Amino acid sequence: MGIQDTIAAIATPPGVGGIGIIRVSGPKAGEIGRLLFRPAKEPCPFATHHLYYGDLVSPETGNMLDEVLITLMRGPRSFTGEDVLEIHCHGGPVILRSVLESVLRAGARPADPGEFTRRAFLNNRLDLSQAEAVADLIMVKTRRGLDACLAQLKGRLSEKIHSLRESLMEIIVLLEADVDFPDEDLDILPVPRIAVMMESAAAEIKVILGTYDDGRIFREGLKTVIAGRPNVGKSSLLNRLLGEERAIVTPIPGTTRDFIEEAVHIEGLPVRLTDTAGIRDTGNIIEQKGVERVWEKLSGADAVILLLDGSEELSGEDRALLESVEKKKCIVAINKSDLPPRMTEEDVAKMMPGVRPIRISAKYGDGMAQLKEKILDLAGRERSSSENDVVIGSLRYKTAFEKAAELILKASESLLSGFSPEFAALDIKEALRHLEEIVGETTSEDLLDRIFSAFCIGK
């Protein structure tokens, strides 16, 4: 990818719309604008960050392509840091294709996925975490996720990393001063105080790491498994939450042999619901396979709706299921409230202290509002948050922070054990490298390629 060439792409989504935008970035952006644009009023000085109205024409034939608004944003005061031309056309696919083709013939080349944002990063308009926030803003599925992405785009994560960097640099200076000038009478902090500084930095990182699960849910939604014995009403509950007959419902236990996945929005939160086979001991090989897959799904779920049949007493299989999910985010729902009850909330509370089961009827819809409230609570709706909070939902960030915290604590242990400060300094420098990777200060081209290839073209 040549940084000196000029790139172009359609920046608006495919399909028909009121407006479509062609974005051009690079040294020929202004030249291309002057070649194609015929202003409605002369003169047209192409002052930076001004909109001009007129016609776009083909330079080869002189034929009109569209009636447009056009603006030239001169670098470095632009998104990419280069000269950027935006052509605002009518949003028809044929118009946009014909305009883009004319722009390419005038000297631009098609942009690669994410290339505009990559140029913004390379030109120091954004650091890498802010660049990734651009892509996340487009794909985010929740309001809380949007807030986290906006905070990251505005540099909250970058500020936290730079603050940690300053702390670690101070530690490195103290450690290396002791190594380089062992015989000098320098005012160096004692070893226990330096170790405390390290542990404080590691503690800050662990606070950030503690936001990962919520951050991922904010971005991607809540992976929720509906589990229970056969014939407790799991498929009926899925259909009720979806508002349609998606799963087959019969009174025959074991009807669901494989899992069914569907998405539903609850007050803006995407919930990925999985209806699973009933869990029981069975001699049927096909049903056994279905049960095995249930356990796999449960292990990777963010939350579990454990469904019990309130018209029957708590069984041994129910008790085993309650024990298996006690460490997960779980809602216990006692179904079939439309039938005479034989199971009490106290029966469940003895198995899962602190969990308050709810009574529902998947068949008639009773208790659905309360169930949805519980789902929202599991997703962290009521947790306090601030626009200044740093919330991470990226596995790349999580891995980098984990490695940094591990190295910092290793350095502290090494120092307190009496090893040379030089070894601790090496670990702190490596921790610093992992933090700098997040914002792109030490990042390989391969990593950049992987990150920006996931962006859409035109962004």
- What does R_g of the chain's alpha carbons equal in angstroms? 29
As beta bridge partners, residue 86 has: 23, 71
Regarding whether 291 and 417 lie in a shared domain, the answer is no
Residues 197 and 230 reside in one and the same domain: no
Q: How far is CA 189 from CA 218, 298, 340, in A?
A: 42, 50, 72
Could you read off the pLDDT of 350-402 as tens digits, one per residue?
Answer: 888 878 899 999 999 999 999 999 988 887 654 544 444 788 988 999 999 99
Whether residue 39 lies inside any domain: the answer is yes
Per-residue confidence (pLDDT) for residue 65, from 0 to 100: 95
pLDDT in the model for residue 59 = 87
pLDDT tens digits for 425-456? 999 999 999 999 999 987 778 878 888 887 78
Task: pLDDT band for 268, please (50, 70, 90 cuts).
Answer: confident
Task: Say whether pLDDT at 96 is over 80.
Answer: yes
217: in domain: no
In a 10 Å sphere around its CB, with 0-12 CB exposed, 13-18 middle and 19+ buried, how is residue 336 labelled? buried
Contact 72, 80 (CB under 8 A): no
Range of the domain at 172: 131-211+390-440
Q: Are residues 403 and 429 in the same domain?
A: yes
Are residues 396 and 373 part of one domain?
no
Which of these, 11, 106, 14, lies nearest to 56 by C-alpha position?
106
For residue 395, the tally of other CB atoms under 10 A from its CB is: 10
| CATH value at residue 206 | 1.20.120.430
CA angle (215, 155, 200) in 5-degree steps: 70
**Per the domain annotation, does 58 fall within a domain?**
yes
Indicate the length of the chain as a whole number. Answer: 459
Residue 189 and residue 263 share a domain:
no
pLDDT band at 216 (very low <50, low <70, confident <90, very high): confident
Enter the DSSP assignment of 76.
T
Report d(CA 110, CA 277) in Å as an integer. 49
* Domain limit, last residue, from 124, 155, 188: 124
Token pair, residue 403, equals 């490695």
Torsion of CA 431, 434, 440, 442, to 10 degrees: 70
Q: Can you say whether the dihedral through the CA atoms of 298, 301, 302, 307 is positive or negative?
A: negative
* pLDDT tens digits along 113-141: 999 999 999 999 999 999 999 888 887 77
What DSSP assignment string belongs to 350-384? Answer: HHSTT---EE-BTTTTBTHHHHHHHHHHHTTTTS-
Same-domain check for residues 203 and 252: no
CA 304 to chain centre: 21
Lowest-pLDDT choice from 40-44, 148-152, 184-188, 325-329: 184-188
pLDDT band at 179 (very low <50, low <70, confident <90, very high): low
* pLDDT recorded at residue 253: 43
C-alpha to C-alpha distance for 124 and 118, rounded to whole angstroms: 10
User: Of 182-191, 305-314, 316-325, 372-381, which range is least confident?
Assistant: 182-191
pTM for the whole structure = 0.75
Of the segments 225-239, 364-378, 397-411, which one has the largest average pLDDT value?
397-411
Residues 36 and 116 reside in one and the same domain? yes
The count of domains in the chain is: 3
- Within a domain: 459: no
Residues 73 and 37 in one domain: yes
CATH code for the domain of 98: 3.30.1360.120
**4 pLDDT above the threshold of 50:** yes
Asked if the structure places residue 281 within a domain, the reply is: yes
Cβ–Cβ < 8 Å for 68, 56: yes
Q: How far is 49 from 304, CA to CA, in rounded Å?
A: 52
**Among candidate residues 81, 107, 124, the one where a domain is terminated:** 124
Percent of the chain residues topping a pLDDT of 70: 87
Domain end call among 329, 358, 378: 378
Q: Residue 265's pLDDT band (boundaries 50, 70, 90)?
A: confident
Q: Residue 62 has what pLDDT?
A: 87
Q: Above 50 in pLDDT, residue 9? A: yes
Same domain, 368 and 394: no
Q: Identify whether residues 226 and 374 lie together within a single domain.
A: yes
Co-location of 348 and 243 in the same domain: yes
Q: What is the pLDDT of residue 257?
A: 44
Does residue 95 share a domain with residue 20?
A: yes
Q: Which has more pLDDT, 42 or 291?
A: 42
